[in-house]
Amino acid sequence: MSPDQPPSCIFCKIASGELESDIVYSDDQCVAFRDLNPQAPVHVLLVPRKHIENLNGLTPDDRGLVGALVSAAPMVAAQLGLAVDGYRVVANVGRFGGQSVDHLHLHILGGRPMRWPPG
Ligand code: AMP
Domain borders along the chain are 10-110
pLDDT, mean of residues 62-88 = 98
Q: How far apart are the C-alpha atoms of 6 and 74, rounded to whole Å?
A: 29
Q: How far apart are the C-alpha atoms of 76 and 93, rounded to whole Å?
A: 22
Cα three-residue angle 19-101-24, rounded to 5 degrees: 50
Q: How far apart are the C-alpha atoms of 115 and 101, rounded to whole Å?
A: 23
Q: What percent of the chain has pLDDT over 90?
A: 93
The catalytic position among 43, 51, 103, 105 is 105
81 Cβ neighbours under 8 A, 6+ residues apart: 42
Checking if the pLDDT of 92 tops 70, the result is: yes
Q: What are the pocket residues of ligand 1 if the criterion is a CB atom closer than 6 Å to any ligand atom?
A: 10, 21, 33, 35-37, 45, 92, 98-101
Whole-number pLDDT of residue 119: 84
Q: Is the domain 10-110 a CATH 3.40.50.2300 member? A: no
Q: Which atom of ligand 1 has the smallest separation from the CA of 34?
A: 21
pLDDT tens digits, 11-63:
999 999 999 999 999 999 999 999 999 999 999 999 999 999 999 999 999 99
Q: Look at residue 113 and give its three-state secondary structure.
A: coil
Distance of CA 16 to the CA centre of its chain: 15
Checking if the pLDDT of 88 tops 60, the result is: yes
Instruction: Kindly report the average pLDDT of the chain as a whole number.
Output: 96
